[in-house]
């Protein structure tokens, strides 16, 4: 028997086995695969830690709280710029590009507060980076405090996180199982159904044969 015939027979045997499986078999198969992938990702991923420092904008004698709120929003937008991160990169031991990738800045629409969150695989590095960026932002902003009449002060220093902020193995396993089950359900929806042959229509004698029988 040739190799082509062997491959064809194996393919026919595989199709026969799949045909004997219940139609809903992709659902549990995909869910199990998603559990394995999600659990593996949770086990082998590097835990990430997040530390947050807060900076507050304080109005001076010739400014009001609304001005401080407006400058807090403005400083929050430029906190990740190279000029602001120039002083922080030396203390954090990172390049400006690494700082921009690891730092997230957020402001509040109701309070003149700026939150600076740093993410790292080491708790100490996360806290050090967040505090360095907060000090650099306050230093650069306070150079213009005489003209802006707004001063930035450190409201709360970042502390070393005790628990990782990345997803735990249980969560990644659950997410993987749900995603696999969803894909399995979609596979069931798009899977072609077996064709059913229409029953053969009853033969109706033509006009010529009907006339021949009536003549006899």
Q: How far apart are CA 117 and CA 102, in angstroms?
A: 8
Which ranges of the chain have pLDDT less than 50? 1, 195-198, 211
Residue 13 pLDDT: 66
Q: Where are the alpha helices (DSSP H) in the chain?
A: 3-20, 26-44, 65-78, 82-92, 96-102, 123-142, 145-148, 169-190, 207-215
Residue 100 pLDDT: 83
Largest CA-CA distance found in the chain, in angstroms, rounded: 123
Other Cβ atoms less than 10 A from the Cβ of 121: the count is: 12
- Supply φ then ψ for residue 52, to 5 degrees: -130, 135
The side-by-side arrangement of strands in the sheet containing 113-120 is 103-107, 113-120, 49-59, 150-156
Question: What is this structure's pTM?
Answer: 0.63
The three-point CA angle 153-158-159 to 5° equals: 145
Q: How far apart are CA 69 and CA 110, in angstroms?
A: 8
Residue 197 pLDDT: 47
Residue 52 · residue 133 · CB < 8 Å: no
What DSSP designation does 197 have? P
Residue 214 pLDDT: 54
pLDDT, tens only, 69-88: 998 998 888 887 766 777 78
C-alpha distances out from residue 9 to 13, 17, 19, 92, 178, Å: 6, 12, 15, 64, 36
Q: How far apart are CA 103 and CA 80, in angstroms?
A: 8
């Amino acid at each position: 028997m040739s190799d082509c015939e062997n491959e064809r027979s194996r393919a026919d045997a595989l199709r026969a086995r799949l045909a004997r499986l219940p139609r809903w078999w992709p659902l549990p198969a995909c869910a199990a695969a998603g559990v394995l992938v999600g659990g593996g990702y949770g086990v082998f991923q590097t835990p990430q830690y997040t530390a947050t420092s807060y900076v507050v904008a304080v109005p001076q004698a010739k400014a009001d709280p609304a001005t401080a709120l407006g400058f807090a929003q403005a400083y929050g937008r430029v906190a990740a710029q190279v000029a602001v991160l120039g002083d922080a990169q030396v203390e954090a031991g990172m390049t400006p590009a690494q700082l921009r990738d690891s730092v997230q800045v957020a402001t509040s629409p109701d309070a003149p507060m700026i939150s600076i969150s740093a993410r790292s695989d080491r708790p100490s590095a996360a806290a050090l980076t967040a505090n360095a960026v907060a000090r650099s932002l306050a230093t650069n902003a306070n150079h213009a405090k005489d003209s802006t009449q707004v001063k930035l002060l450190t409201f709360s220093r970042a502390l070393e996180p005790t628990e990782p902020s990345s997803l735990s193995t249980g969560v990644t396993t659950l997410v993987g199982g749900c995603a696999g089950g969803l894909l399995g359900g979609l596979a069931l929806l798009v899977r072609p159904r077996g064709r059913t042959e229409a029953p053969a229509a009853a033969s109706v004698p033509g006009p010529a044969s009907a006339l021949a029988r009536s003549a006899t």
